[in-house]
């Protein structure tokens, strides 16, 4: 593929001011740390993934509300074009009349927010042989200073001039030939670009890294599997954990734990929260022990990369329950006290509320209807109450382990179990949101299970490192996906919206008492945030598997969402994938606003 950069000619400062008064966009003029920290409160832009570093995905805008939303209508639509459609999971950013939005196959566009006119496009030059596990998606960019940053499928981090789209610097995050890739949105913390990596299914070791936003030079690197050495300012720093404490032999050297879904940052605790993926291989009988720090949430010092605490949500994971789901900071009122808390809806089916200063769980409750791997969580020992027969069997003992009752796995897959949720999770990558108005979390969930069995496997660079087989199945006849409003003080599901197809996109809540959310059937929908009543919908023409945003411009409130079906479900969904094969691909940005009369 070729690299393509098209740009508008910039004007002098005086001319730019005049142009701004004429309502043409003045391209991003210096995003600061303060801008990012205040992103949720400043309604004229969206300069960070999650509408603020805490990732609450809430806006105080209320011009679009339960009364006016029925008048919401499209202003413009922009096509990513070409044949490179596939899954579109991006969250747009908006600054000074310019939208920055990424697309499949490592592309980034700058678009005039008023007209939908393309200002410039960057298309990464991807080599042959890239190995993204779960579609050619990209979830978003980051803005800082006069630059825009995003990652590519060959595991590169690129910094572009926000005005022109020209490359400023480009750094390697990992060897794509070994299985490394990058799909999440970078995060800016205190002048540093924070990134993770994808590739856990190939045995690569997950890591979180910080680079100087101006130069791209590496400041610190923290591998997340015990036994690996971290670095700080170009020198070895500390070993992660204690070598062989929870991993036997040399399995930790290819231990997985990919940090593929990005992180959040809480300025109140000065901690970065990053989720880690499944241990490698999936066959847990090959790696006895808890396998730290896989399937966990880590709290990291943003200045040094040192791990301050960890919460392992699935010790000795044998079901591919990546712990990468976002940890969202919020202040919780309970028993007359305000607790600095954080919440996480884990792939393993449990909703965690924890003290975000220490990582100690305060409550752990199911948010899906069926969990077969654990009975619950013991808050005293801080461990799940695991159901032994819920773990797929050891293939070495296959002859003595017939497939468990309830599975439809072929006889040769001895040791197979019927397991809920499936490895695609009670919640996968799609970000939840929190409203400080309703004090509820809005969680995109899926109800599906799987037949899963283990197989022998050995590590080989650049080859799949699973050691397991599976078939995903829907749990209920009438729905798979659900949007659930959860009270974090009790774990109670206050309301839910059920969707026939699996849901795969993020949410947005607003002070207009609305929750916006897209479906694979192509709709962007709005719900009453308190009751769950559907109050508006619009058909975009392709599945919505992205995260909507809202902002204010010239006194008017805008809404934007990316449309384009894809992601992991069509690739890994088994029987579920067959059930939704009729869904059309696409690649569009849709922007909406109220007419003046409303």
Q: Look-up: residue for tokens 């079901």? A: 319
Burial class (CB in 10 A: 0-12, 13-18, 19+), 138: buried
Q: Look-up: residue for tokens 């899926």? A: 446
Listed residue (158, 139, 78) closest to 111, CA to CA: 78
Which two tokens mark 473? 């199945």
Report the DSSP beta bridge partners of residue 325.
Answer: none
Q: What is the DSSP letter of 39?
A: T
Distances (CA, A) of 458 to 1, 203, 280, 468, 514: 34, 10, 10, 12, 50
Rounding to the nearest 10 degrees, give the CA dihedral for residues 90, 93, 98, 100: -40
CB 512 within 8 Å of CB 61: yes
CB 114 within 8 Å of CB 22: no
Q: What is the DSSP letter of 388?
A: G
Which two tokens mark 210? 């910080």
Q: Which of 320, 322, 346, 451 is catalytic?
A: 320
Q: What is the DSSP letter of 206?
A: P
Q: What is the C-alpha to C-alpha distance for residues 279 and 293, in angstroms, rounded to an integer?
A: 9
Q: Mind giving me the DSSP string for 519-558?
A: -TTSEEEEEETTT--EEEEEE-SS---S--EEEEETTEEE
What are the residues whose beta carbons fall under 8 Å from the beta carbon of 463, sequence distance 6 or more? 202
Q: What is the C-alpha to C-alpha distance for residues 278 and 136, in angstroms, rounded to an integer?
A: 20
Positive or negative: CA dihedral 170, 174, 176, 181: negative
Report the DSSP beta bridge partners of residue 98.
Answer: 95, 112
Which two tokens mark 561? 């969402």
| Three-state secondary-structure class, residue 311 | strand
Q: Annotated catalytic, 487? A: no
Percent helix, strand, coil in the chain (nearest 5)?
10, 35, 55
CB 37 within 8 Å of CB 131: no
Listed residue (163, 120, 166) closest to 16, CA to CA: 163
Which two tokens mark 476? 């209920």
Angle of CA points 228, 229, 231, to nearest 5°: 145
Burial class (CB in 10 A: 0-12, 13-18, 19+), 155: buried
Which two tokens mark 159? 């910094």
Q: Would you name the residues annotated as active-site residues?
A: 320
């Amino acid at each position: 593929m070729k690299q393509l950069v098209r740009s508008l000619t910039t004007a002098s400062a005086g001319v730019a001011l005049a142009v701004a008064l004429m309502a043409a966009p003045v391209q991003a003029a210096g995003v600061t740390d303060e801008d990012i920290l205040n992103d949720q409160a400043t309604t004229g832009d969206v300069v960070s993934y999650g509408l603020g570093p805490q990732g609450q995905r809430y806006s105080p805008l209320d011009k679009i509300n339960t009364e006016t939303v029925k008048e919401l209508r499209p202003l413009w639509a922009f096509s990513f074009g070409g044949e490179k459609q596939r899954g579109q999971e991006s969250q747009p950013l908006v600054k000074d009349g310019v939208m920055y939005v990424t697309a499949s196959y490592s592309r980034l566009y700058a678009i005039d927010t008023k007209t939908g006119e393309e200002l410039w496009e960057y298309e990464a030059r991807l080599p042959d042989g890239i190995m993204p596990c779960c579609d050619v998606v990209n979830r978003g960019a980051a803005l800082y200073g006069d630059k825009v940053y995003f990652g590519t499928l060959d595991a590169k981090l690129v910094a572009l001039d926000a005005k022109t789209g020209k490359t400023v610097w480009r750094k390697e995050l990992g060897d794509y030939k070994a299985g490394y890739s990058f799909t999440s949105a970078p995060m800016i913390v205190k002048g540093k670009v924070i990134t993770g990596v994808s590739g856990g299914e190939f045995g690569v070791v997950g890591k979180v890294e910080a680079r100087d936003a101006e130069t791209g030079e590496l400041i610190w690197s923290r591998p997340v599997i015990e036994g690996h050495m971290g670095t700080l300012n170009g020198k070895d720093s500390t070993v992660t954990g204690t070598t062989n404490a929870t991993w036997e032999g040399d399995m930790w050297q290819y231990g997985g734990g990919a940090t593929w879904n990005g992180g959040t940052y809480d300025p109140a605790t000065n901690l970065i929260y990053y989720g880690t993926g499944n241990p490698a291989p999936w066959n847990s009988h090959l790696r006895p022990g808890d396998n730290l720090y896989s399937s966990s949430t880590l709290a990291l010092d943003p200045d040094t990369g040192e791990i301050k605490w960890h919460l392992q949500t699935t010790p000795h994971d044998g079901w591919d329950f990546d712990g990468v789901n976002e940890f969202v900071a919020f202040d919780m009122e309970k028993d007359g006290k305000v607790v600095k808390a954080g919440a996480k809806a884990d792939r393993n089916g449990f909703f965690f509320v924890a003290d975000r200063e220490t990582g100690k769980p305060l409550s752990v409750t199911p948010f899906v209807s069926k969990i077969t791997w654990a009975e619950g969580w013991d808050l005293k020992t801080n461990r799940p109450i695991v159901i032994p027969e819920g773990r797929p069997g050891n293939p070495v003992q296959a002859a003595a382990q017939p497939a468990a009752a309830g599975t439809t796995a072929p006889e040769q897959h001895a040791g197979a179990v019927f397991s809920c949720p499936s490895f695609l999770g009670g919640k996968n990558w799609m970000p939840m949101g929190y409203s400080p108005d309703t004090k509820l979390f809005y969680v995109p969930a899926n109800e599906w299970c799987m037949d899963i069995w283990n197989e022998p496997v050995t590590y080989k660079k650049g080859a799949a490192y699973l050691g397991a087989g599976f078939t995903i199945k829907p749990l209920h006849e009438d729905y798979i996906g659900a949007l659930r409003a959860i009270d974090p003080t009790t774990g109670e599901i206050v309301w839910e919206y059920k969707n026939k197809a699996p849901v795969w996109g993020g949410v947005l809540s607003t002070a207009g008492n609305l929750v916006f959310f897209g479906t694979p059937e192509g709709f962007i929908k709005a719900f009453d945030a308190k009751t769950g009543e559907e109050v508006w919908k619009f058909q975009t023409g392709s599945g919505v598997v992205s995260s909507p945003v809202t902002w204010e411009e010239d006194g008017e409130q805008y809404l934007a969402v990316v449309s384009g079906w894809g992601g992991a479900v069509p690739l890994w969904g088994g029987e579920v994938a067959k059930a939704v094969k009729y869904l059309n691909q696409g690649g569009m940005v849709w922007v909406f606003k109220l007419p003046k009369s409303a």
